[in-house]
Structure 1
């Protein structure tokens, strides 16, 4: 009996030891997985910061390697040119917070948030940037002295800087000529353009969403044992810490498999062996998935950067000659022309304006994709805004013998707060489409108040839209059907821009239509009322 009791006790001890050993081995494996995951996250954060700086440098040099920039920053600084091509361009296209130009340690142009200012608006930026800019100037002068031009002569620097208590991504680039004639026209010290983007709350949140990190924070000192990346400025000095909550996939995995672990450990070490193998397989899959995610993210960022640069360059390259065409057409219109010549000139001007409208639509799409579109909040008179949006098309309606009516409910009249420019853009687009596709009858614009905001409706007596075409109507580069595309010009961007603008305002847009019964496009936007009501029922055109 004692022998049996001893054997049972030994078996019990063996079971306990096996369970504890298995649990210890599993916990050790889970912690190892957590440490590997933390190291992968740290490498991903460091790589993403470097990718952001590389992209920022490409964005900067898209407007610095340019004959026009070299001439504008030459002996006589062209500040209005810099307002458009440096200040507004870097802010609107790439969301850079600061852009300024240094030459010989002196600020010759300064812009903050896309608006020109003096050097005092830059705070401590000029003093901290001057040594780096001096290095760029020295290298750029040496390269130009060797006869190099264009991208072969550009000199850049990039890194982090802490200015006035805030951390910025900063890029430097020399202003570089493309042609020998422009380079010879100015032989002074090269100018250096500096752009900076602040690592503020919205930047950190977007950065965390892109990388899938929880509670990412930019701190002055490391917080306990959380995963973190020490940030150093462009000169190697520590300036802060990026810290986040550990994902701990191993601990999560143990919690989800706890019942199976208990059952497995009861059948001794064999179950522990299979569990360990499964954990290792899961670890391998997680690491492979993370590598694929990093590769896909970098590929998508490169493609998006290329598209953004293409659109930005298109803005410079197409708008300038197109404005020249329109300007020359207006000059020619002032001359005495025969009727055939005047008709051809009108066709030329209308075609140029159509191309300009298409370019503006494409740039609006790019801004909406990059979330760079910013809405204004300002008071406006509803009746005046609706009249302005509709009166621009009264001539087109009269040319087709169509009625154009505006019906603003008396209780909706008065002053409201919102973005009247974007509201007018959406309403004008819908009215233009209604007139374009309507041959008989007319177009009616109605505005009605809601509990919170306004409801706009544009109704026409046109041919209507087939039910199968309605789902794709608000997609980009889409029209109702191929026959419509051939009968009426357009790139299919207008309704897509309308939808994205309305959704950006927090509203919604939809359509009701039946073949042969006309169409009704309507949208609802949340707006705040400011003024008294006043009626508005009028006929804009007939």
Structure 2
């Protein structure tokens, strides 16, 4: 009996040990399965971020080429390079244009003889010696572009069919740049054909890519490092230059959605200890479902990021191409109008020509306003305060609009309080533009009566008012009045012209100067726009120097 009991005890102990072992295996298996699934999700996430980073790099190169072609495929540029190059014109239309509107850091221009004639950094011409490292780094690719361009001179190609483009990563000293190359070619057969095509080189620093990865793709803390061994749980993008030479790596810490899943399932793991194998099976099914849903959500997130990035690229492309595609033909129209005005015209023809010129100038002004709105959105409008005679500026603005007021049968007056006499430290160009927009808006919306422009000093501020006796603005429209493309009357029956951006520009410029603008209006009785600007009076010797200058 004792032997039987001892045997049963041994059997019981064996069963308990087997049960404990099974429990341990089930728990270990469940935890291991969750850890494996989490690691798999993290690997998928890391690979997806690498793919997104590579797509972003490729699209950045495409954007560089598009930016270069927006000015390089241009009849005016071909004509300029055909003779003695006008360096000021080249700086304005290449160095300044790429820096100010495309965000490029450095631009090199080679003439049709292959000579470097212009180096520009951050919208300022610089010496070639100061950019020698960059010049040496891009020299082989410039030679390659010139050779290919020379090979295309066997037939009269134009536009994109004639252009030769390249893009590459290059190292200049300790810096890495994303570089685009393009040849200057004619748009059509109206321009002369050059014996050799000039070459434009324009680049952005690799830091621009790091900023875009973090801002647009939500990649966490990307940094540039030396090339090193890759790891599955480490985000990295290999940067290769010409000939496949590795220049470095961009590394970051990928998102860890799998780890989040594992942490969130900790209570379920505790439940497994109590529910044994049945709970383990349920948890396994749950994990599989979570993994499936996370993969679906990840696909949706990737698609959303691609759409958002595509929209940003489309906006940048639109702004870059618009400045070229609209300005070039419009300048041609205005130029021909000037030529026609020099000929023998009768009164009727001269009147019609005046309408043509005025319409073209209005359209050119609208293009400039749109580009200024874009610069305001990017925070690129920085005031440059100088000593400004506010009384003279006030009269200048009034005189500029007096002819338009007389044509509309309106009275335009400008009155400056004695407190505003003297010089004030502020940005006179920005202030003139603000008052121009406000007076123009008042004239547009005043069918009869008058527009009055006044100014006075209030403590350390200057106050400017534009009051009209126009149609007024409904109270419900005042809160959104300064938004882009908003008009007081946007119905299909409105009679006043305008794109609805003048007030947007006025507000943006005022805020850039640290001031504020507000509007008050009574429908049918008129409106008052008031601008308050912080301004410091220029006293004593400083005032005398300003006046002498």
TM > 0.5: yes
Q: For the structure 1 residues 388 and 120, does the alpha-carbon distance in structure 2 shift closer, same or farther, using more than 3 Å as the test?
A: farther
Pair 1:213 & 2:219 matched: yes
Is the CA contact (8 Å cut-off) linking 2:165 and 2:182 kept in structure 1? yes
Structure 2 unaligned runs (5+)? 1-7, 541-549
Aligned equivalents of 1:313, 1:171: Cα separation in 2: 18
2:385 paired residue number: 378
Is the CA contact (8 Å cut-off) linking 2:387 and 2:538 kept in structure 1? no
Tell me how far 1:121 sits from its aligned partner: 3.8
Pair 1:317 & 2:325 matched: no
1:540 paired residue number: none
Across the aligned residues of Structure 1 and Structure 2, the Cα RMSD in angstroms comes to 3.6
Aligned equivalents of 1:328, 1:468: Cα separation in 2: 49
Cα deviation per residue 1:43-99 (whole Å; 9 max; x = unaligned)?
A: 111121111001111211222233333333246434343233322222233122222
In the TM superposition, 1:216-235 aligns within 5 A as 216-220=222-226, 226-235=234-243
In the TM superposition, 1:184-263 aligns within 5 A as 186-187=194-195, 189-200=196-207, 204-220=210-226, 226-263=234-271
- Give the secondary-structure state (helix, strand or coil) at the position aligned to 1:111: strand
Is the CA contact (8 Å cut-off) linking 1:397 and 1:404 kept in structure 2? no
Tell me how far 1:296 sits from its aligned partner: 1.2
Tell me how far 1:29 sits from its aligned partner: 1.5
2:547 paired residue number: none
1:304 paired residue number: 315
Tell me how far 1:223 sits from its aligned partner: 10
Is the CA contact (8 Å cut-off) linking 1:379 and 1:530 kept in structure 2? no
Cα deviation per residue 1:458-506 (whole Å; 9 max; x = unaligned)?
A: 3333331113333443343332115797432222221233344445556
Structure 2 counterpart of 1:159, from 164, 168, 173:
168
Tell me how far 1:171 sits from its aligned partner: 1.0
Structure 2 counterpart of 1:170, from 168, 179, 183:
179
1:50 paired residue number: 58
Is the CA contact (8 Å cut-off) linking 2:57 and 2:209 kept in structure 1? no
Pair 1:362 & 2:373 matched: no
Cα deviation per residue 1:266-325 (whole Å; 9 max; x = unaligned)?
A: 433133223312321233223312431343145324533542343033244234224315
- Give the secondary-structure state (helix, strand or coil) at the position aligned to 1:392: helix
Q: For the structure 1 residues 477 and 325, does the alpha-carbon distance in structure 2 shift closer, same or farther, using more than 3 Å as the test?
A: farther
Tell me how far 1:509 sits from its aligned partner: 4.2
Cα deviation per residue 1:501-530 (whole Å; 9 max; x = unaligned)?
A: 4455566544332313432334556x5747
In the TM superposition, 1:273-292 aligns within 5 A as 273-292=284-303
1:71 paired residue number: 79
- Give the secondary-structure state (helix, strand or coil) at the position aligned to 1:62: helix
Structure 2 counterpart of 1:100, from 87, 91, 108:
108
Cα deviation per residue 1:329-370 (whole Å; 9 max; x = unaligned)?
A: 7646xx8975x666555544433332222222233334445x
Aligned equivalents of 2:210, 2:497: Cα separation in 1: 43
How many residue pairs end up in the alignment?
Answer: 523
Cα deviation per residue 1:187-230 (whole Å; 9 max; x = unaligned)?
A: 3x432211111233x66324410111121222346599642222
1:518 paired residue number: 526
1:123 paired residue number: 132
Q: For the structure 1 residues 496 and 322, does the alpha-carbon distance in structure 2 shift closer, same or farther, using more than 3 Å as the test?
A: farther
Pair 1:30 & 2:38 matched: yes
- Give the secondary-structure state (helix, strand or coil) at the position aligned to 1:519: strand
- The range that moved more, 467-476 or 29-38, is 467-476
Structure 1 unaligned runs (5+)? 534-542
